[in-house]
Amino acid sequence: MRPDSRTLIQWMRKKRSLEENIYGRPFFKWAGGKNQLLSEFDERLPEDLRSGVLDRYVEPFVGGGAVFFFIIQLFPIKEAILCDVNKELILTYRVVKVDAESLICRLKSFQEEYDSLDEQGRQEMFYRVRDALNEKKTGFEYNIINDTTIERAAELLFLNKTCFNGLFRLNSKGGFNVPFGRYKNPDVVHEANLRIASKLLTNTKIIQGDFSECLQNINDKTFVYIDPPYKPLNKSSGFTSYSEDCFRDEDQVRLSDFFVQADRIGAKVMLSNSDPKNEDPEDEFFDELYKQFRIERVMAKRIINSVAEKRGAIRELIIMNYSD
């Protein structure tokens, strides 16, 4: 019988980083992050992943990377491919992989300045950094790693750690638009974690683009985890603006075609999404899209909703093309 995620995480702490007694975690705070669902995923992972038959991991919507960090530290994965349409996110992943030490150095400077200020000064610093980040977006070169891109990655992480609710949200023009958060002592650097994350990304290919670009990296020894921007349950709960491009119903249909293609290649595929039946028991949107596959419903806590009483435990979907 497979141990639960809590047992696995204890093993990770002992096995992977004895000198620090920690394991690699997401370095971004991320709305919709999957830490709370790891135990549900673990119960449903294919046995071929544990045995090493599946030695390639592909994640077309990496986001905060909770599932990537979980998988890469527990299973004998030889190569991982991470993708996301969000340029800012992918830039930061690449910087962490290639030059974590320079990033840490710059984040320490942000931390020292921030800690020296009163609340008004901290707020002014936050908006100064946010304005600078957004002003530099036009014509910015995202595909190289140099002092300029390291600075941008540091700005993004600083804003993510000090903004309201630790959100990562972009407006229609691609500008970071989350307001200031009033945290007393935010840890901007997370130095040890960035070093571990950098090592874990060593054999990882990082792609900026549409999820469809991942198909060429999938074979019959691949485990694919798909975590798209969730279909909004209602008008007040929608939160799909992780990039300047919204993810609409027609994109969900395209994604189901991607799922089918990966299945035909012979990959094992798992997908998670919101369950429209939370709002409308007659809504068969995903049940129809994935009717030939295994669909299970689990409970999860959702906090991204403008209506406070609608935050809480709801059903989410886990869809798989395998039964083991």
| pLDDT at 236 > cutoff 70 | no
| pLDDT at 95 > cutoff 90 | yes
Residues 255-265, mean pLDDT to the nearest whole number: 98
Confidence of residue 214 (pLDDT cuts 50, 70, 90): very high
- Structure confidence at residue 5 (pLDDT): 52
DSSP character at residue 228: P
1-5, 104-108, 121-125, 268-272: least confidently modelled range: 1-5
SS (H, E, C) 56-92: EEEECCCCCCHHHHHHHCCCCCCEEEEEECCHHHHHH
Residues 205-224, mean pLDDT to the nearest whole number: 98
All domains of the chain in start order, with CATH? 5-9+16-85+209-320 (3.40.50.150), 89-177+186-192 (1.10.1020.10)
Residues 136-143, mean pLDDT to the nearest whole number: 94
| pLDDT at 19 > cutoff 50 | no
187-196, 203-212, 303-312: least confidently modelled range: 303-312
User: Looking at the whole model, is its pTM more than 0.85?
Assistant: yes
Confidence of residue 235 (pLDDT cuts 50, 70, 90): low
- Concatenating the DSSP letter of every residue in 256-317 gives HHHHHHHHHHT-EEEEEEE-GGGT-TT--HHHHHTTTSEEEEEEEEE---SSGGG-EEEEEE
Residues 32-39, mean pLDDT to the nearest whole number: 84
